Amino acid sequence: MDRHDLSGATAKDVAQAHQEDLKIQEQYGCKGLTYWFDEERGAAFCLVEAPNQDSVSEMHKHAHGLVPHQIIEVESNIVESFLGRIQDPKPANDIDDSGLLIINDPAFRAILAIELEGIELLNHNYDHNTSNKFSKSYSQLIEEILSQFKGIEVEHVKDGLLNSFNSISNAVDAAMEFQTRLQILATKLGVKLQSKIGLSAGVPVTKDKNFFGETIQESMRLCKTASGGQIMVSSSINNYLSEDKLNQLTKKTSVKVLKPAEQKFLKQMREVIDNNWNDPEFTVKSFNTIMILSKSQLYRKIVALTGLSPNDFIKEYRLKKSLRILSETQRTISEIAYDSGFNSPSYFSKCFQKRYGISPTNFLQLKQV
C-alpha cells in the first residue's frame, strides 16, 4: 500500500489517475486492486499487488507522474479487516457522466482497543459454569455491538479486542455501549470484571512502517493506561466529534479525553516503562531521571493520568506482566519474579497475592488442572 499526499486534488482527479495506472500496470508486473481517497486530509492510498516497491513507483511515475510519498508492505486480509474491502466498491451513485467510478472513501479509521482486566483469573474466581456463561455472553455482546455500530473485529485474543470503525462517532458510542452492557452482564452473572478501553484514530500509512501502526500503538497505550471501567480517548478524536458529543464525553466520570500535552507525556511515559520494567534497578528515581522531570512533576503527571503514584504504577505494570507470563509459560516463580523486575521471589509473591487474591504458586497449580 502506498500513500500520496495530494493537497488540492479532487476525488475525480484520483479516480482518473487510478484508471491511468490500470492501463499500463502489466508493463510493471503490477495489479492495482483499489484505492482510498481522503479529500479532507489531501491523501490517497493505493493497494497494489507488485513484485517490489520500485515497480509501484515506476508504474505511478509513467502513468500520471504522482509518485508515492511512502510505500509499505501489507497483507490483504489485514487490510480488509481494517478498511472493509480490498477491491473497488460496487458502483452505486458514484459513476460520473463519462462512466468513471469515483471513490471518495477516506481510509481514516477509529481504532478501538478493549482489554478485560484480570480475565486470566476468571477460572480461579468463579466456577466452570459461570466462566463458560460469561465467555459465551461476552462474545455475543461484542458481535451485537459491532453490528449495531458498524464496526469490524480486527483481532480477538483472550484478554482483549481490536476493532475498526469508519465513523468516529460510532466508535465512541460503541465504547460507551460496551461498558454499560458489560457491567449489566457482569452483575447478572455475579462476575467482577471490568474492561479498559482506548480509542484513537488515524490513517493506514504514516511514518511508521506498519499498517495503521501509529494508531494501533496509540489505542493500545490508552487501553493499557486506563483504569478498570474507564474509556481513555485520544486527543486526535476531538476534532471529529460534534460539540455536543464531546461535552457528553467529558462529563462522564468513566471517560477521560486526553489533551495533546497529556498524550505526548503518556507516550513518553509508556516508552520508558516498556523499556525498563523488567530491570530491578529501575526505580522512581530512575523514572524521574529518564523523563527529565522532578519528583513532584512526575508524581503529579502520573497521578493525573492513572490515579496511581509512580511507585504503584511501576508495581502494577510489573504485576500485570507477571500475570501474563504465568498464564503463558511454565517457568518457575523465581524466574518470573526476577524477570518481572522484582528483587526477590518472596516480595513478588506477597505483592501478587495482595493484588490478585491468589499466590503465584496456586495460580500455576490451577492452570494445570
Using one digit for the tens of pLDDT, what is the confidence trace for 225-263? 999 899 999 988 887 887 888 888 888 888 999 999 999
Domain 2-83 has CATH 1.10.3720.10: no
What are the cell numbers at 17? Answer: 489517475
2-83 and 108-258: identical CATH topology: yes
The residue ranges of every structural domain in the chain are 2-83, 108-258, 259-369
**Residues in contact with 54: Cβ distance below 8 Å, sequence separation at least 6, in sequence order:** none
Burial class (CB in 10 A: 0-12, 13-18, 19+), 152: middle
Look at domain 259-369 and name its CATH class.
Answer: mainly alpha
What are the cell numbers at 207? Answer: 511514518
Predicted TM-score of the model (pTM): 0.88
Look at domain 108-258 and name its CATH class.
Answer: alpha beta
218: three-class secondary structure by DSSP:
helix
Q: How many other C-beta atoms are found inside a 10 Å radius of the C-beta of residue 234?
A: 23
pLDDT of residue 247: 82
What are the cell numbers at 160? Answer: 482483549
Using one digit for the tens of pLDDT, what is the confidence trace for 59-73? 999 999 999 999 999
Residue 149 · residue 171 · CB < 8 Å: yes
DSSP secondary structure letters along 287-356? HHHHHT--HHHHHHHHHHHHSS-HHHHHHHHHHHHHHHHHHH----HHHHHHHTT-S-HHHHHHHHHHHH
120: three-class secondary structure by DSSP:
helix
- Provide mean pLDDT across the span 131-158: 89
277: three-class secondary structure by DSSP:
coil
Using one digit for the tens of pLDDT, what is the confidence trace for 160-194? 789 999 999 999 999 999 999 999 999 999 998 88
What integer best gives the mean pLDDT of the chain? 91
In the chain, the percentage of residues whose pLDDT exceeds 90 is 70
Using one digit for the tens of pLDDT, what is the confidence trace for 71-118? 999 999 999 999 999 998 876 556 666 678 888 888 999 999 999 887
pLDDT of residue 104: 81
